[in-house]
Amino acid sequence: MAAYAIRRLGLSAIVVVGVSIAVFMMLRLVPGDPVSVMLSQGSTAQDAAALKHELGLDRSVFAQYERYAGNALTGDLGTSIRLHEPVARLIGQRLPATLELTVASLALATALGVLFGTLSAVRHGRLTDHLVRVGSLAGVSLPSFWLGLMLILLFGVELGVLPIAGRDGLASLVLPAVTLAMVPLGIITRMVRSSVLDALREDYIRTARAKGLGAARTLFGHALRNSLIPLVTVVGVQFGTLLGGAIIVETVFAWPGVGSLLIDAVSARDFPLVQGIILMIALGFVLVNLAVDLLYAVLDPRIRDSMETAA
């Protein structure tokens, strides 16, 4: 298993490098010049040339990436063009807020998704099943920005029971977390429902029932337990998706996270900051998926045996 983990770690490193190259090159194709954004209207061509040289933008793209990659390996992601602060420090200041929102949303989506999915499977074909299926489809389909605005109007403006912006205590986390949780909630609900339905049709479930095993023990001890591997897969993927997808929700609720910082960086053509944030998101996504792959071996000994055989 150790050899498998090392091999997966190497592949993950290749993915991160590939993402960094793609983002670095694509940003150079975006219309606009960060130098023109930074300079005042009375600046001369000499001023622009001097600033480009200072930022290293007068070098070739390959030379710029070589310099960037070398510095990134030492933890230096550059300096923000707009804010004149180290990119790593800016990300470190905003990352806790984004992780707080992401973890809260994923925990809410997972808990409710397992509950609703299991309930829908047990009540298959009945009114409860139909309601859960319609609700999960709506959760996946509704745009986050629209849902966030509707929640703001209802709970913030009309009822006035919850804060609508900022990060100030647990109450301010409720609306953005619910908004961000809706899509993964719909996905997890549908996955759990499908997995539990498949498990309930297996022969070992019929055998357990024939032996007199209680309905609750059959459901939670056998059917739901065998749904853990696909659940772990979906939760892992959704964590990475939420980490990058929190941008819209953070903007709607003025949440001081990495997402809102990325929007400002893109608007200002702040290349180092944009690169650093996207690299951080990619690294988080890769590490979560690596952890999920290794967790499979803990949940299913057959997978651990196949890992050892492959290694």
Map tokens 């933008």 to a residue: 57
| Distance between CA atoms of residues 235 and 227, nearest Å | 12
pTM of the complete model: 0.79
CB 290 within 8 A of CB 1: no
| Distance between CA atoms of residues 203 and 168, nearest Å | 52
pLDDT at 80: 85
| Distance between CA atoms of residues 22 and 159, nearest Å | 46
pLDDT at 64: 82
List the domain boundaries for the chain.
Answer: 90-267
Tally of helices (H runs) and strands (E runs) in the chain = 14, 0
Instruction: Provide the angle, in degrees to the nearest 10, between the axes of the packed helices 271-299 and 61-73.
Output: 50
pLDDT at 31: 66
3-state secondary structure of 86: strand
Q: Which residues contact 41 (CB under 8 A, 6 or more apart)?
A: none
pLDDT at 142: 86
CB 193 within 8 A of CB 120: yes
In CATH, 90-267 is 1.10.3720.10: yes
3-state secondary structure of 270: coil
pLDDT at 176: 93
Q: Nearest 5°: phi and psi at 122? A: -65, -35
CB 39 within 8 A of CB 45: no
pLDDT at 311: 52
In the DSSP assignment, the letter for residue 225 is: G
| Distance between CA atoms of residues 103 and 101, nearest Å | 6
For the chain, 311 residues long, give each residue's pLDDT as a single digit of tens: 567 677 778 888 888 888 888 888 877 776 666 666 666 566 777 777 777 777 777 777 788 888 888 888 888 888 887 888 899 999 999 999 999 999 999 999 999 998 898 888 888 888 988 999 999 998 888 888 899 999 999 998 888 888 888 888 888 999 999 999 999 999 999 988 888 887 777 666 666 666 666 666 666 665 666 677 778 888 888 887 787 778 889 889 989 988 888 888 887 778 888 888 888 888 888 888 888 777 776 666 555 555 555 55
